[in-house]
């Protein structure tokens, strides 16, 4: 094993941006920058950093502020913060002001905080997504009511009385997911409540692809059989805003229900669900290949080492060994992959499972999805501490047993191990630095140690090891 340097890190690695990650400093100093000239300066009572993302071009932070307006009313406002070097701030600030379309009730739509190298953009402004507002939703819904209601209008002439948008998930400049509700009224005095989900993507082409994929998936299994996979209907598409309107499913995702369901029964069903999904007779253009995965690992290592330069040698050694280790060629034809198969993308309701978040469909070896699920369990244990190592092993065992029961082709454990070693680095370890986790260096070290152990197991290719038995040898 590579011996990694020990570091004590509790915040963001870049000291140039340290103030943008200091809630106390922000609460004390933002009021000078946030309010408009004609507004009384309000005190910020609460400030929470919801998430942070780091890319080669910029660091992005999602904030939620709580304050009292001059009338004493409690207000909450979300902001997206963009961090830039000092010499880029003025230009980026001018660009952000040009793109801001929505003025919040209080405070500026765009605020410059030069002391923190920070530009704040008030939600629902976004530089790349035309975020759907309640004002825009109501007239759009009236014109597209028949499609969104999915046959539930019973022939009456309904009018949209009110429409609301409740944010569920938001990654600035990438995607926005919200729950939409509407109250409908009919001339005869009848009333009807409508609820659905909207997903907005920065690229209109990707939104169109998601809409078409959801519709065509319904034809991906033989028409004379009961469809084995439950997933939401695609209801409508607004290409202008990159918005896909989909059916709202009842239930809750399994990540939130971990301690409320019988895992010995549910996790095998999760494995069988994936095996059924891999039988879909559908093809998409995007593919997972060995060459792609090597490139993903190499790029992840570049990002990690940029933040943790002392780790350059251990990761260089890992990549050299990983590149030399080719997975077993088992002759399995590419199948349709979910692409991000994990607990928070699986809904549970009244004993039934449904599959969500089908944005990342691609073709490839089925071992990729299996390994993706396993790698997500390690992240659940290490990043969030929600499960213990013993619980994670039992969950992996139940899942693999269920998948093995229904898999169309016998997947070699070596193929799963190879993809698992890759994903522990290019998905899980990378997230610790790009999402600004506390103690990220120790967590990155843990993922690298796990990946090295998994890679050693792949190299051994133990005879007689089956997919169902793989959980027993995983670290």
Length of the chain measured in residues? 475
What does pTM read for this prediction? 0.89
pLDDT in tens, 224-235: 677 889 999 999
Token digits of residue 161: 């009385």
Task: Tell which residue, 336, 104, 355, 340, has the closest CA to residue 229.
Answer: 355
Cα 296–408–349 angle (5° rounding)?
A: 80
Radius of gyration of the CA atoms of the chain, in A: 24
**How far apart are alpha carbons 242 and 399 in whole angstroms?**
35
338, 353 contact by CB (below 8 A):
no
DSSP-assigned letter for residue 409: S
**How far apart are alpha carbons 98 and 103 in whole angstroms?**
12
Q: Which CATH architecture has domain 252-472?
A: Alpha-Beta Complex (3.90)
**How far apart are alpha carbons 153 and 155 in whole angstroms?**
6
**How far apart are alpha carbons 359 and 66 in whole angstroms?**
33
**Residue written as token pair 């994903």:** 423
What pLDDT does 24 receive?
94
Q: What Å distances lie between residue 443 and 1, 120, 193, 371, 424, CA to CA?
A: 16, 30, 46, 19, 11
What pLDDT does 301 receive?
96
Tell me the CATH number of domain 134-247, given options 1.20.1630, 3.40.1570, 2.60.40, 3.30.200: 3.30.200
Token digits of residue 109: 């739509």
- Reduce the DSSP state of residue 457 to 3 states and report it: helix
Q: What are the structural domain ranges in the chain?
A: 15-122, 134-247, 252-472
**How far apart are alpha carbons 33 and 25 in whole angstroms?**
13
- Reduce the DSSP state of residue 156 to 3 states and report it: coil
**How far apart are alpha carbons 204 and 206 in whole angstroms?**
5
**How far apart are alpha carbons 200 and 133 in whole angstroms?**
12
Show pLDDT as tens, one digit a residue, over the chain (475 residues): 444 433 434 445 556 788 999 999 999 999 989 988 888 777 899 999 988 887 767 889 999 999 887 778 888 999 999 999 999 999 999 999 998 988 888 889 999 999 999 999 999 999 999 898 888 899 999 999 988 887 767 778 899 999 999 999 998 889 999 999 999 999 988 899 999 999 999 888 999 999 999 999 999 988 767 788 999 999 999 988 999 999 999 999 999 999 999 999 999 999 999 999 999 999 999 999 999 999 999 999 999 998 899 999 999 999 999 999 977 667 889 999 999 999 999 999 999 999 999 999 999 999 999 999 999 999 999 876 789 999 999 999 999 999 999 998 889 999 999 999 999 999 999 998 887 677 889 999 999 999 999 999 999 888 889 999 999 999 9
Task: Tell which residue, 428, 405, 388, 359, has the closest CA to residue 258.
Answer: 388
């Amino acid at each position: 094993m590579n011996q990694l340097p020990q570091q004590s890190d509790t915040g963001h690695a870049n000291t140039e941006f340290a103030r943008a990650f200091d809630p106390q400093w922000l609460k004390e100093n933002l009021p000078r920058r946030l309010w408009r000239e004609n507004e009384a300066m309000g005190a910020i009572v609460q400030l929470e950093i919801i998430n942070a993302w780091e890319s080669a071009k910029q660091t992005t932070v999602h904030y939620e502020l709580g304050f009292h307006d001059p009338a004493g009313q409690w207000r909450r406002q979300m902001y997206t913060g963009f961090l830039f070097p000092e010499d880029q701030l003025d230009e980026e600030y001018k660009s952000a002001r040009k793109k801001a379309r929505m003025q919040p009730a209080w405070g500026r739509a765009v605020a410059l905080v030069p002391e923190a190298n920070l530009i704040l953009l008030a939600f629902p402004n976004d530089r790349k997504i035309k975020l759907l507002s309640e004002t825009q939703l109501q007239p759009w819904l009236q014109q597209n009511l028949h499609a969104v209601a999915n046959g539930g209008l019973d022939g009456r002439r309904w009018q949209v009385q009110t429409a609301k948008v409740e944010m569920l998930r938001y990654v600035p400049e990438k995607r926005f997911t919200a729950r939409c509700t509407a109250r409908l009224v009919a001339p005869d005095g009848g009333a009807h409540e409508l609820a659905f989900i909207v997903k907005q993507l920065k690229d209109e082409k990707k939104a169109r692809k998601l809409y078409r994929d959801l519709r065509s998936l319904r034809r991906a299994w033989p028409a004379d059989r009961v469809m084995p996979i439950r997933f939401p209907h695609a209801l409508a598409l607004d290409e202008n805003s990159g918005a896909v309107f989909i059916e709202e499913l009842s239930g809750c995702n399994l990540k939130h229900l971990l301690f409320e369901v019988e895992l010995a029964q549910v996790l095998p069903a999760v494995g069988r669900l994936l095996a059924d999904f891999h039988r879909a007779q559908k093809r998409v253009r995007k593919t997972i290949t060995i060459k792609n995965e090597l490139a993903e690992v190499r790029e992840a290592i570049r990002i990690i080492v940029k933040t943790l330069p002392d780790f350059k040698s251990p990761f260089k050694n890992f990549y050299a060994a990983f590149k030399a280790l080719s997975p077993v060629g088992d002759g399995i034809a590419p199948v349709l992959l979910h692409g991000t198969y994990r607990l928070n993308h699986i809904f549970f309701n009244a004993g039934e499972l449904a599959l969500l978040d089908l944005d990342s469909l691609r073709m490839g070896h089925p071992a990729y999805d299996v390994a993706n699920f396993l790698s997500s369990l390690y992240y659940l244990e290490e990043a969030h501490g929600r499960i213990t190592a013993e619980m994670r092993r039992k969950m992996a065992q139940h899942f693999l047993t269920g998948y093995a029961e229904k898999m169309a082709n016998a997947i070699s454990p070596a193929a799963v191990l190879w993809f698992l070693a890759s994903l522990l680095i290019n998905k899980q370890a990378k997230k610790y630095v790009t999402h600004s986790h506390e103690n990220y260096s120790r967590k990155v070290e843990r993922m690298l140690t796990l990946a090295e152990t998994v890679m050693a197991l792949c190299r051994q290719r133990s005879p007689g090891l089956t997919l169902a038995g793989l959980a027993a040898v995983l670290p």
